[in-house]
Chain A
Amino acid sequence: MADTTQKPDAISAYYQTRAAHHGVITSDWLAQAQAAVEQPDSSVSGLGPAKSFNVIDEFNGWRKQPDLAEAVAAIRAMAAVIRASEATTMMELEIELKKASDTLKSWDKTSISLTAGCDLFIRYVTRTSALEYEDFNSAKSRLLERAEKFGEISCKARKIIAMLSQDFIFDGCTILVHGLSRVVLEVLKTAAQNNKLFRVLCTEGRPDGTGVLLSNELSKLDIPVKLLLDSAVAYSMDEVDMVFVGADGVVESGGIINMMGTYQIALVAHSMNKPVYVAAESYKFARLYPLDQKDMAPALRPIEFGVKIPAKVEVERSARDYTPPQYLTLLFTDLGVLSPSVVSDELIQLYL
């Protein structure tokens, strides 16, 4: 499944994986699956450049689990690299990790949380090795332990965020949700468990069909759900009290990169004075600074219309958009409830 290349029209693996999670079958996916079936030995071979190859495989392996965050999968893959590494000094290990991280990043350039997760881990490694002068093995085991813990942190992050957002959900409120974010799902679950009475409007979320998936989940929790067409958002915005979205990445300006449609909804909500809340873990903070929609690496995904489209017609296939910080009200993160301008503060402290 090495279809992510530098080519601008390459399909974004990140969004493909998401689609796979959501069980969306597209013709591309079918073709891929076909190809994968026909080459079962590709993963077996390659003992030589095993490390880098392993990293991507590891990563893909982890990534397939629907419940696992992208960044966690990346870090778990890096942990695998540490385990398999034969380096004897910290510097060597660092170099290996850097190489693995670069490989992962180049393999899928469009995934922000992947990049952010890798950077975070490398940063942690660099800082740790600078501070510790203990022997190599204990340092290595410390790193491994940290990598393992990262996975738990990620789950815990979701719980923290869910807890923080409870104060903002009041009885009788109507929440508009876009996209299927696991964090937002957690938030709603917790609210339901706390016996809050609220209802959810969710957008259809083409082409991923997140709306249907979400409504499945929510109805299991007995939360009243109403499905909207993507174009019905402005129509229904009157009855909405707040908008909840997740984020694929939080950028340095405080804006977010999320599934296509988020910007639209944020604009409508802003013009109607409805708060827009973003639920994102802190490892999604990335050192990007898009100035406009086209300023990011393009992430394309296949879009099916169900009918045949004439060959000369172009399709806008970008999978995500950028919402500038002025349209966002608050960010719920595991670091607390933040305003968008704090993101840069955190990033500076972390990376500089």
Chain B
Amino acid sequence: MDPRRGPLAVPKVRRVGFFTSIEPSPETPRPNRSLSGPAEAITSSSPLSDSPSGQFISPVQIPPSRHHSDNLASRAAPVPVPGPSAFRRQLANDRALHVGSYNPVDSLLGTSPPSSNGEVSEDSGSLFGFQRSDSAKLSASFPNGGFDMTMRVRAPQESEAKVAIASTSDGRKKNVEASAGEGESVAAKPRKEKETKSLKEKTSKAERRAIQEAQRAAKASAKGEGSKRAGESSRPKPSKPAKQPQPKKEAPQVTSSVSEKRAVSVEKERRMDVPQTQMQYDDKSRVDKAKRRSVVEQTESKNKVELFLHLPQYERGNQLPNLSSNIFSLDTIHHAVYKVGLQHLAGDISGDNARCIAMLHAFQEAINDYTTPPMKDLTMDLTAKINGYVSFLIECRPLSMSMGNAIRFLKNQIRKLPVDLSEPEAKASLCSEIGRFIDEKILLADKVIVQHAVTKIRDGEVLLTYGFSCVVEMILLYAHEIGRKFRVVIVDSRPNLEGQKLLRRLVTRGLDCTYTHINAVSYIMGEVTRVFLGASSIFSNGTLYSKVGTACVAMVANAFSVPVIVCCEAYKFHERVLLDSICSNELGDPDAIANVPLRNNKKHSKTMDNNKNLQFLNLMYDSTPAEYISMIVTDYGMIPPTSIPVIVREYRREDLLL
């Protein structure tokens, strides 16, 4: 079961407000809009009905500035995990072809209750209605509908993309995507561009309708976990004869590959109960599927770094207003979770512990307000709801390892609920378990870590820390309280400049601080006696996964024979193994790099966007190999980095999904 197939009733494309008939050609709006991408295409909620040729009647969804190249294809493909990036990419690409139906379809599907948001006409409703294998899942209506349409539209124009799209009409949207064109490959970008362009040009009502059908079918099939693919694909056919020709021809080719791809992904999803913290965003089919289900509209960034195509790269800026305007229509997401998602999007929350605690508190509230629908089992339904929340949060910002572990714990607790517990009792027990988790594994663990680490601070020391870690801050403040005499060097780096927060806090408490940027770390390391670092997660081979720049500091410290002490609670340990910083990472806002404050860069940000030879890479995390770490302070004491698997083995058995 796909853990992400929660009742995401939100259409991918959110309509921001009024609906306008947008006549302009698909191309034009594209560059301007950034978030609501498919909006343009889909503006008309009833794509099928109105299907203005090439226009979107959509409610003001600003078409996400997508690359043509990317997502068209990817969007079509079903993605198992909501992939906002993929989605955005698609949207961007599709802008041209968004037909009205895209949106409505989307919205229709998006909201689990069949009440579409207005424009979706009944036909889309009907289209989706029967296609929906699972109403909850159909929330990802938009992606399905939209993709299909886009697919179809593109089909005629583009060689591969079309094929992909076409196949969706077979109900295998994602397959199309995936198989079509480069579905599987990562070479999405160039293709997407082609696809988007071609798609835009050729959008016609019939095509769009066909695409929509295909998408719907694909979506339904996506929901139906592959097996239904065939069935769904057939379904759209009768309804829209027009679209048959293209999709049909494409379908057969892609079908097979698509189907098996689907089957595999479906099966994987079923098996995996743990939320994937990262989806491979170069896998178009999965990206599309994710997009279909996603709540937040994310625009894929135009200029993506090749090496990191497997990570979501979004354009920032429009997600927050978009999402916040939709708060009242997102009835599948509990308001507390929604708030946390917004905070993540806005960047108000940073720091693993804070994020995890906020998420758990939101879950606590959500569980408290939860009532089991009749005829449903509490465990399964609640798990499905939690999965939905988790997918939403992932769309806002990819989960950190600690949040992943916390979610696993929560799901485990839900699973272990005794069957004879009444609903209020079950809810109370879950809430108290969550509270216990927060208290024991985070708050109390921090206190224990502080006690241990303070023994390593002697008088006269010069301690270096990087960025802002709440545990390290606690250690420094506590050591100062108990009267140790030491100096602190804070190393900071752009673009987040988190160290300034720490600097302010320490200085107000009277510590002697030195502040420098990471360029000077090799200069300052000569005077340092100990380095204290925080962690986002530590993997089983002892590799530290933390804010980007940490590896640099640790390696320089090692070169100067300065011991590196990492402070990390045990709940952040992960049994995975990490070998480099590329496979698993998070990409931040590229504009943050491009925009240097106090510099006249008005022209930069725009010109840079259009330069295909220049890509901005704003990595958020990096990995430090175990040999640069001297000691890890956890709530289980001070251990060498080679003992992480021991702790995981001895103390986390119950948390592991075995």
Contact = CB atoms under 8 A, between A and B. Distances in A.
Interface residues of B, number: 17
A86 interface: no
Contacts of A219: none
Given A287-B637, A291-B563, A352-B637, A345 B643 contact: yes
Nearest to A295: B456
Contact of A348 (B630, B631, B643): B643
Contact of B643 (A295, A344, A351): A344
Given A291-B456, A352-B636, A352-B651, 10 more contacts: A252-B637, A289-B631, A291-B563, A291-B631, A341-B642, A341-B643, A344-B643, A348-B637, A351-B637, A352-B650
A146 B637 CA distance: 28
Contacts of A252: 637-640
A325 B627 CA distance: 12
Which of B563, B640, B646, B650 has the most C-beta atoms of chain A within 10 angstroms of its own C-beta?
B640
Interface string B604-646: 0000000000000000000000000011000011111011001
Contacts of B646: 344-345, 348-349
B185 to A, nearest CB: 41
Contacts of B385: none
A253 interface: yes
A252 B633 CA distance: 12
B236 to A, nearest CB: 59
Interface of A: 252-254, 287, 289, 291-292, 295, 325, 341, 344-345, 348-349, 351-352
Nearest to B565: A291
B647 interface: yes
Contacts of A287: 637
A348 B456 contact: no
Interface of B: 456, 530, 563, 565, 630-631, 636-640, 642-643, 646-647, 650-651
Contact of A344 (B563, B640, B651): B640
Contacts of B630: 253, 291
A286 B637 CA distance: 13
A344 to B, nearest CB: 4
Contacts of B563: 291-292
Main secondary structure of the interface of B (DSSP, over half): mixed
Contact of B530 (A254, A289, A291, A345): A291
A325 B565 CA distance: 16
14 contacts: A253-B630, A253-B640, A289-B631, A291-B530, A291-B563, A291-B630, A341-B642, A344-B639, A344-B642, A344-B646, A348-B636, A348-B637, A348-B643, A352-B651
B647 A348 contact: yes
Contacts, number: 45
A132 B143 CA distance: 63
Contacts of A325: 640
Contacts of A348: 636-637, 639, 643, 646-647, 650
A352 B563 CA distance: 25
By Cβ-Cβ distance, the 7 closest A-B pairs, closest first, are A341-B642, A344-B643, A291-B563, A289-B638, A345-B646, A253-B640, A344-B640
Contacts of A341: 640, 642-643
A338 B640 CA distance: 15
Contacts of B530: 291
Contacts of B640: 252-254, 325, 341, 344
A338 B545 CA distance: 28
B558 to A, nearest CB: 11
B642 to A, nearest CB: 4
A349 B631 contact: no
Nearest to B456: A291
A245 B454 CA distance: 32
A254 B651 CA distance: 21
Which of A287, A289, A348, A351 has the most CB atoms of chain B within a 10 A radius of its CB?
A: A289
Contacts of A349: 646, 650
Contacts of B637: 252, 287, 348, 351-352
A253 B639 CA distance: 7
A283 B630 CA distance: 24
Nearest to A352: B636
Contacts of A352: 636-637, 650-651
Contacts of A254: 640, 642
A104 B631 CA distance: 29
Contacts of A295: 456
A295 B647 CA distance: 25
A253 B642 CA distance: 9
